[in-house]
Chain A
């Protein structure tokens, strides 16, 4: 759950009363554009991407223009611009026209949870405009602070002093940056990054202006919903299958899914985070989905999960894999019964799928669950192999892969 860019970032930043430039969206009129450019003699045109997308500047996707005609030309180039980021091809869907802020400094500021300090860390440098990974330790500061009392002006002053920041930027940043902490703390952020912050000279005093925005939200913290972000922002994150399953999501988990390969041929019900990691790795591109249904799901929920999963993936699957270790708490009878009942109902509606069922599992009510599934599959004439927890879980997944290979060769 990430967003980038000022189209959605500006209204969020404004909540903290941190200064922002004027932003126009792609439907701006010529007059509006001319007026924007007239302010500084130029404006910045950026593509709008859904989700978390960085390195736009490096990819040449940020244009600075000095006339409305040029701005429209830049819009044409950037509106559906393609960008390769984090192993994915992403396409833009719109542009923003952003007020150009002349500045002698580019400041980088980031708030995020650190697994080193196990607190929120802030990262700050006035040496922005480059990859921060390229900066030496004396050019950038990363520091944590007390999560109960929050980020204070003195944290900023200390940090900037430590890296010998120009004196003229210290006071304005110390005044404004702590405001972002309240935003971060109150709206379910896990990362909030403003980069660059440009320092505008207003009547002799520098004022920080947030010129780009990147955020990541915590799905388990409901406060991000208070931002009332339009749902399409996260549309790249969620497939229809995932959206349908997510409707069943509760705090007990039991319904985590991600589509791995829409052309996959092994559909796996994975139980537990460990099984999820291990099985996803072995199956890789063969898997239609990666899932974690652990956490002792109740029957009705497991049935619905199975029903939806079968609806989306069973027809193309050669193997239905049910995989987990020796469950501590998950009732195997309930899960196997729900999976079996849903399979029986699927068969009634769609006919018998050409499928091999492989299961590897242990835990409470194991035999009751396995024999129920066995009897169901026997009645449906669907072939199967069930392994107990005394067989290596990884070997079971490999066995499923081999069965899938055989089906593919058939």
Chain B
């Protein structure tokens, strides 16, 4: 049956099944754009290959799909030479859409339809598009829509109706959908399934000010489509499209005899004076949601659908208050008309949380919804994801970026994993080592185990020793000497074995579904899983293993990870029992971070590699390991108890070759914490990141860092050491930790301030602008007030003072800035900055060696540099892990346009 209609405009499609027909052939404009390149292949494959070609201005090529490549041309004229098509799909940016419509109409006289996906096209372009398409007799769908689809024809044109799984949504049935919302086009189709209804054709109309294929055209095509029994309309405020269509039906100018289910939303939007969401969904006084509801109610001769009285509806159709009522309304309408559903109802729309956790909130019973298993196939996906441990980051260009460190713009304090480094001074080195990689500090109870592991891994063999010696003999700088040994590590067989062990443990726990370190597991089942995954038989007990196991047994509570490790080792044994138990301990420390998706599985699998390199680097800073009892004992590994030594002490002894006092150790750890990071822009971090970017392994990334550091590191701090030594040369300070006469220090500060003032004035008289300033005072961010304080310095000073840790050098610095102001050398009291902190702590630590003549002034710079190297080696491991997780190959390249040639 054909309509004898009096449509006021051109409508090319006569019946609904022509909108997304099997024989439609399509050309996609901007086919390689971000959205199209994802959506077009799915549409093409679902529709059996209906896209004949695409256009990407200036860039010919192809778009790969599972059923063959789609050729891509750089202009439409070239498509016309090689292909025939009747439908254009436009994904271009808004300003280009009108031009593309003109191009399509100009070149293709057989064009029947254009589907415009783009949103935010100006109203002017929309009306011009309408004008030229009406003249050229072309139907337009959109803009700002998701295209059209036909469940009977299995064809989808344009946008992503049905998402990435169109088969799930586009189920054959008897209802046609016309929706102002692209998302609701799919969502309504999904909802309809719950009462056994499928669809014929779905039109996502878009909701711009001008709707090109509006309700009138749609109903006209529906009437001529025998497959469609009824229609579902989703309508938003703004525009008179619906009033026009209903008026045409009632006046007989449009023959339409099928029932309508309509959902009008947006009553509340009448309160808004600006559009949000759909550009055209802003109503005037006569076309708001209430007005639209009335148009339909008048047409139906009824009121809003009442689910409690489903029979109380008109045969012409019914209006529902929300889209969730559409399936029920369809059921009621079909029943009224004596029709059955299209198929068996599937599922329900009731509240079904797939995930939930109330964290003990005392919610009323009706809100305490238990989680339910998700519908297939999502339930299987959830089960599979639940087995995955660790985060997966989006890969991106990580040049000059970091997900590990930053300088907080407000405080100017460097942060590692969102923790200011000034807070990290409270933790010993061993704890911070773990923190850089697992993003949380291990519990105190675990630190002895961590120390055992680090000291064990710090082992330097004879060959490595000889490499280090040779490097030193050749006057390699300390960083280069250390790098030469680290470079040897590659991805050695111990690393590989550890990765394998860790991989097996992770797979075992993900398979058995361990989601919390405090849960319990079925050890037998875990054993079975692990046995299937490897593990070669071998040793189950060595001296070290037994020792480590005893320490593990001494823990207040053994986690399932530790229980399993011990149990597996005892029952099966492995080739390298020591390594296996260390890996087990490391997994125990990192498991919660893994579960909470703070860190990646890859980082955990490589945890032993990272720790080994860091531990070895510490040992390699040792100036004379053979003359240090502790280091020798660690190397010999005859008495395992020596491995319990705090790794901070190991590092201290490596540098200073003597046992630290407890206060010294605390300050030493603070110093290392302060040097952990200074953000991703430092050349040390960049060295590591660039190495990762070139796809090097972990040890080479550390080498990248090491070779990107040098004696200029800590330069200002070293200047401060020199300055202080010079200032103190006439004072007899035995120990900077002991109180010194404050008056003497103040007098000295005053003298030095006056000297500086004289020097400064002389320099100015001579016109010397770049005279030598006093190092480590003032900071561009923390100056300008009468009394300036660097909050980082202030925080650390107060923290150490509260623990009665004194430092004469530090006090002197404060007297000095006050004296400089008092004598008029500075306009306000400068702050003592963070570099000064590093200088005064390291000077204090070096003081005894300096006083007893062991350490010459010239060697002090080396020590300062070595301290920096240890701290930064630890910090940079976070950058390496982060860049490996997030970065892309070669992402640290500098674009050519940023490079310069100089003469």
**How distant is the Cα of A378 from the Cα of B363 in the complex, in angstroms?**
18
Q: Which residues of chain B are within 8 angstroms of A256 by Cβ–Cβ distance?
A: 275-277
Contact B349 A392, beta carbon cutoff 8 Å? yes
The 10 A-B residue pairs with the shortest CB-CB distance in the complex, in nearest-first order: A274-B181, A325-B187, A272-B183, A379-B596, A276-B277, A221-B122, A392-B324, A274-B184, A328-B160, A115-B239
Out of A296, A299, A396, which one reaches B394, CB within 8 Å?
A299
Contact B181 A277, beta carbon cutoff 8 Å? yes
B901 at the interface (CB under 8 A from A): no
**How distant is the Cα of A348 from the Cα of B415 in the complex, in angstroms?**
12
What does the 1/0 interface line of B198-242 toward A look like (CB < 8 Å)? 000000000101111000000000000000000000101111110
Contact B369 A277, beta carbon cutoff 8 Å? no
> Which one of A86, A118, A258, A270 has the greatest number of beta carbons of chain B within 10 Å?
A118
Q: Known interface pairs A115-B240, A272-B183, A390-B352. Does A366 touch B39 (Cβ–Cβ under 8 Å)? A: no
Contact B359 A371, beta carbon cutoff 8 Å? no
**How distant is the Cα of A356 from the Cα of B362 in the complex, in angstroms?**
12
Give the nearest-CB partner of A365 in chain B.
B164
Contact A251 B355, beta carbon cutoff 8 Å? no
Q: Which residues of chain A are within 8 angstroms of B268 by Cβ–Cβ distance?
A: 280-281, 284
Contact B183 A326, beta carbon cutoff 8 Å? yes
Contact B353 A326, beta carbon cutoff 8 Å? no
What does the 1/0 interface line of A44-88 toward B look like (CB < 8 Å)? 000000011000000000000000000000000000000000111
Contact B357 A116, beta carbon cutoff 8 Å? no
Shortest CB-to-CB span from A349 to chain B, Å, is 8
What does the 1/0 interface line of B334-361 toward A look like (CB < 8 Å)? 0000000000000111111111111101
**How distant is the Cα of A116 from the Cα of B367 in the complex, in angstroms?**
47
Contact A218 B123, beta carbon cutoff 8 Å? yes
What does the 1/0 interface line of A301-315 toward B look like (CB < 8 Å)? 000000000000000
B161 at the interface (CB under 8 A from A): yes
B661 at the interface (CB under 8 A from A): no
B124 at the interface (CB under 8 A from A): yes
Segment at the A interface, from B300-308, B373-381, B449-457: B373-381
For chain B, the bracket of interface size reads 35 or more
What does the 1/0 interface line of A164-202 toward B look like (CB < 8 Å)? 000000000000000000000100101000000000000
A125 at the interface (CB under 8 A from B): no
Q: Can you list 7 pairs linking A and B with CB atoms under 8 Å apart?
A: A115-B280, A258-B276, A278-B323, A281-B265, A325-B181, A388-B374, A399-B351
B876 at the interface (CB under 8 A from A): no
A220 at the interface (CB under 8 A from B): yes
What does the 1/0 interface line of A353-397 toward B look like (CB < 8 Å)? 000100000111011101110111111011111111111111110
Contact B118 A390, beta carbon cutoff 8 Å? no
A153 at the interface (CB under 8 A from B): no
Q: Known interface pairs A290-B272, A388-B378. Does A395 touch B418 (Cβ–Cβ under 8 Å)? A: no
A129 at the interface (CB under 8 A from B): no
Q: Which residues of chain B are within 8 angstroms of A252 by Cβ–Cβ distance?
A: 119-120
Shortest CB-to-CB span from B93 to chain A, Å, is 5
Contact B357 A118, beta carbon cutoff 8 Å? no
Q: Known interface pairs A272-B184, A329-B163, A391-B351. Does A251 touch B356 (Cβ–Cβ under 8 Å)? A: no
**How distant is the Cα of A88 from the Cα of B272 in the complex, in angstroms?**
10
**How distant is the Cα of A94 from the Cα of B184 in the complex, in angstroms?**
46
B110 at the interface (CB under 8 A from A): no
From 144 to 164 in chain A, residues with beta carbon under 8 angstroms from any chain B beta carbon are 146-148
Q: Which residues of chain B are within 8 angstroms of A282 by Cβ–Cβ distance?
A: 322
Give the nearest-CB partner of A331 in chain B.
B38
Contact A328 B355, beta carbon cutoff 8 Å? no
Q: Known interface pairs A190-B123, A276-B277. Does A328 touch B356 (Cβ–Cβ under 8 Å)? A: no
Contact B128 A147, beta carbon cutoff 8 Å? yes
**How distant is the Cα of A119 from the Cα of B133 in the complex, in angstroms?**
13
A321 at the interface (CB under 8 A from B): no
**How distant is the Cα of A402 from the Cα of B190 in the complex, in angstroms?**
25
B191 at the interface (CB under 8 A from A): yes
Contact B181 A272, beta carbon cutoff 8 Å? yes
A295 at the interface (CB under 8 A from B): yes
Q: Which residues of chain A are within 8 angstroms of B805 by Cβ–Cβ distance?
A: none
Shortest CB-to-CB span from B405 to chain A, Å, is 14
Q: Which residues of chain B are within 8 angstroms of A251 by Cβ–Cβ distance?
A: 93-95, 118-120
Q: Known interface pairs A87-B271, A326-B190, A379-B597. Does A273 touch B127 (Cβ–Cβ under 8 Å)? A: no
B244 at the interface (CB under 8 A from A): yes
From 235 to 279 in chain B, residues with beta carbon under 8 angstroms from any chain A beta carbon are 236-241, 244, 265-269, 271-279
Q: Work out how many contacts link A and B, with CB atoms closer than 8 A.
A: 290
A128 at the interface (CB under 8 A from B): no
From 583 to 617 in chain B, residues with beta carbon under 8 angstroms from any chain A beta carbon are 595-598
What does the 1/0 interface line of B683-719 toward A look like (CB < 8 Å)? 0000000000000000000000000000000000000
Shortest CB-to-CB span from B206 to chain A, Å, is 9
Contact B119 A295, beta carbon cutoff 8 Å? yes
Q: Known interface pairs A185-B124, A274-B187, A386-B354. Does A119 touch B131 (Cβ–Cβ under 8 Å)? A: yes
Q: Which residues of chain B are within 8 angstroms of A113 by Cβ–Cβ distance?
A: 123, 127, 209-210
B561 at the interface (CB under 8 A from A): no
> Which one of A148, A220, A256 has the greatest number of beta carbons of chain B within 10 Å?
A220
Q: Known interface pairs A147-B128, A273-B181, A385-B353. Does A296 touch B35 (Cβ–Cβ under 8 Å)? A: yes
Q: Which residues of chain A are within 8 angstroms of B30 by Cβ–Cβ distance?
A: none
From 90 to 131 in chain B, residues with beta carbon under 8 angstroms from any chain A beta carbon are 93-95, 118-125, 127-128, 130-131
Contact B124 A237, beta carbon cutoff 8 Å? no
Give the nearest-CB partner of B193 in chain A.
A390
**How distant is the Cα of A349 from the Cα of B138 in the complex, in angstroms?**
56
B765 at the interface (CB under 8 A from A): no
Out of B244, B358, B382, which one reaches A371, CB within 8 Å?
B382
Q: Which residues of chain A are within 8 angstroms of B212 by Cβ–Cβ distance?
A: 118
B41 at the interface (CB under 8 A from A): no
Q: Which residues of chain A are within 8 angstroms of B123 by Cβ–Cβ distance?
A: 113, 190, 218, 220-221
Give the nearest-CB partner of B241 in chain A.
A115
Q: Which residues of chain B are within 8 angstroms of A108 by Cβ–Cβ distance?
A: none
A337 at the interface (CB under 8 A from B): yes
A294 at the interface (CB under 8 A from B): yes
**How distant is the Cα of A115 from the Cα of B8 in the complex, in angstroms?**
13
From 226 to 264 in chain A, residues with beta carbon under 8 angstroms from any chain B beta carbon are 237, 251-253, 256-258
Give the nearest-CB partner of A144 in chain B.
B127
From 411 to 460 in chain B, residues with beta carbon under 8 angstroms from any chain A beta carbon are 418
B385 at the interface (CB under 8 A from A): yes
From 311 to 340 in chain B, residues with beta carbon under 8 angstroms from any chain A beta carbon are 322-324
A17 at the interface (CB under 8 A from B): no
Contact B597 A376, beta carbon cutoff 8 Å? yes
B182 at the interface (CB under 8 A from A): yes
Q: Which residues of chain A are within 8 angstroms of B162 by Cβ–Cβ distance?
A: 328
Contact A146 B131, beta carbon cutoff 8 Å? yes
Shortest CB-to-CB span from A271 to chain B, Å, is 7
Q: Which residues of chain A are within 8 angstroms of B180 by Cβ–Cβ distance?
A: 273-274
**How distant is the Cα of A280 from the Cα of B186 in the complex, in angstroms?**
20
Q: Which residues of chain A are within 8 angstroms of B272 by Cβ–Cβ distance?
A: 258, 290
Contact B363 A406, beta carbon cutoff 8 Å? yes
A120 at the interface (CB under 8 A from B): yes
Out of A147, A271, A329, which one reaches B39, CB within 8 Å?
A329
Contact A390 B349, beta carbon cutoff 8 Å? yes
Give the nearest-CB partner of A332 in chain B.
B163
Give the nearest-CB partner of B234 in chain A.
A274
From 78 to 94 in chain B, residues with beta carbon under 8 angstroms from any chain A beta carbon are 93-94
Shortest CB-to-CB span from A297 to chain B, Å, is 11
> Which one of B209, B211, B276 has the greatest number of beta carbons of chain A within 10 Å?
B276
Contact B182 A328, beta carbon cutoff 8 Å? yes
A12 at the interface (CB under 8 A from B): no
Q: Which residues of chain A are within 8 angstroms of B361 by Cβ–Cβ distance?
A: 356, 383
Contact B278 A402, beta carbon cutoff 8 Å? no
Q: Which residues of chain A are within 8 angstroms of B323 by Cβ–Cβ distance?
A: 274, 278, 392-394
Q: Which residues of chain B are within 8 angstroms of A273 by Cβ–Cβ distance?
A: 180-183, 207, 236, 277-278, 281
Out of A218, A237, A391, which one reaches B350, CB within 8 Å?
A391
Q: Which residues of chain A are within 8 angstroms of B211 by Cβ–Cβ distance?
A: 115, 118
**How distant is the Cα of A86 from the Cα of B269 in the complex, in angstroms?**
13
Shortest CB-to-CB span from A375 to chain B, Å, is 4
